Structure 1
Amino acid sequence: MMHIQGPAVAQGGRHAVILCHPDPHSFNRAIANCYCKEVRAAGQETVLRDLYAMQFDPVLYANERPTLATPVLAKDVIAERNILWGCDVFVLIYPIWFGSAPAMMKGYVERVFGAGVSPEDVRRQDRGVLLGGKRLLSFTTSTLSQYWLSEAGQETALTTIFDDYIVHAFGMQAKEHMRFAQVTGEMRQPSAEQHLARVARQARRTCGQVASAARRPTS
């Protein structure tokens, strides 16, 4: 694996919140805001990366391919990895589009998470310096009902091809996924508030897990 050293960071809980939705007023943005608010209230740090607002380029270029002996990382990838350096939790927030994550989120995983990671590293579950041993938490939304998603196998498929693969490929230690169905422009306020209350509880629980891990003695 190509080891990419990042800058020194302060100790303590640090959460990378990676949002992928084109509408700055979307419910996905509300999820990100709620999560960040709860993490900061717990005395931990958030690093919000709004991919559309950043105009992140999801295209993996020929000289970045992980199959090359010496892939060349672009400046934007290096800068992004430096920003993420030292995070304990990586939170992905995105809508389910045509059965999977949006192309921009997939490109972020390929270019930023996968930078310098070879197929052999993936096979060995090599713990990379950025993601190795860290937590993965996902929040996804769909306009369809929970029943339809279950019947169509969407929940199992997305967990297998995205969450499980990310954890395996980059040597992460744990994953959790919270799904919200029937998220539309007509969603009633009580439903939205109920969903965000679940986000807040999950944020507090994750902060507790990070704090507990930090207190655990190392051998």
Structure 2
Amino acid sequence: MSDVTPADLHHLIVVGHPDRNSFNHAVAAAYADMVRQCGQSPTIRDLYAIGFDPLLRSTERPESKGFHLSPDVEWELELIRTASVITLVYPIWFGMPPAIITGYIDRVLGAGLTATAIRHNQPHEMLANKYFVLVTTSGSTLPWLAERGQWEGMRESFDSYLETIFSFAEVEHEHLDSIVSPLSPDYAAQCLGRVADRARFACSAVLCRAHEQQKIEKLKHYQERGSL
């Protein structure tokens, strides 16, 4: 049983912004750069660039008679299966995530998940114990969002609720507010520094968790051998 190394850990970074020159793309790049510096491997999925279809088909609902997953969803699921960390990077528009992000959650993260499984708190086989990171931006300030109840509402629906139904080991959320054009270079650098810190923390957390899990598996292996 070989030891887990940083190179064994993968981060899937999903970006939901239509402008390739947006600050959100700079955020994704900064996150990926820090992952590489930590010796782990990142994969960036630009949902707009790949033409991801956010519309959930009736046959993709597990309750439907002809249930089956579309090929594009199967491809995304392969990336998720090998990821230790799933990071979503997106802006807050009209108090909500972009439709392409909610569509990704509907079609990919929620693929095959039934209402019965959610109601009975059944662990999500594919997502259980993965690390989930949200990096969001808004033109409004965080206090402005909080005053209108939008911040707490988003935290409940995305952070807390998704953590529960998808069985994530942990959910972290880094929000960057007052992201308006033109953006001060000093403030941009400060925000990207926070993103890098968040990525470094995620790398450390999943590496520690992987080592702990390996210790448990080794102990179980030795106990089984001793009982032979």
TM-score for both structures, normalised by structure 1: 0.91
Q: How far apart, CA to CA, are the structure 1 residues paired with 2:148 and 2:24? A: 23
Q: Which moved more, 1:96-105 or 1:60-69?
A: 60-69
Q: How far apart, CA to CA, are the structure 1 residues paired with 2:66 and 2:156? A: 30
Counterpart in 2 of 1:108? 104
Q: In the TM superposition, what are the counterparts of 1:1-219 in structure 2 within 5 Å?
A: 12-68=8-64, 71-216=67-212, 217-218=215-216
Query: Contact 2:14–2:89 (CA<8 Å) still a contact in 1?
Result: yes
Find the structure with the greater CA-based Rg: 2
- The amino acid of 1:38's aligned partner reads M
Q: List 4+ stretches of structure 1 deviating above 3 A.
A: none
Q: How far apart, CA to CA, are the structure 2 residues paired with 1:163 and 1:12? A: 26
Q: How far apart, CA to CA, are the structure 2 residues paired with 1:95 and 1:11? A: 30
> Could you report, residue by residue, the CA deviation over 1:17-56 in whole angstroms, capped at 9, with x for unpaired residues?
0100000011100110000000011110112111000110
Q: Which moved more, 1:50-59 or 1:123-132?
A: 123-132
- SS of residue matched to 1:52: coil
Query: Contact 1:139–1:177 (CA<8 Å) still a contact in 2?
Result: yes
Give 1:144 deviation, angstroms: 0.7
Say what the alpha-carbon RMSD is for the aligned residues: 1.5
- SS of residue matched to 2:139: coil
- SS of residue matched to 1:140: strand
Q: 1:31 to 1:75 in 2, by over 3 A?
A: same
Query: Contact 1:99–1:154 (CA<8 Å) still a contact in 2?
Result: yes
Structure 1: stretches of 5+ with no match in the other structure: 1-9
Q: How far apart, CA to CA, are the structure 2 residues paired with 1:135 and 1:70? A: 32
Q: How far apart, CA to CA, are the structure 2 residues paired with 1:24 and 1:200? A: 20
User: Identity rate of aligned residues, in percent?
Assistant: 36
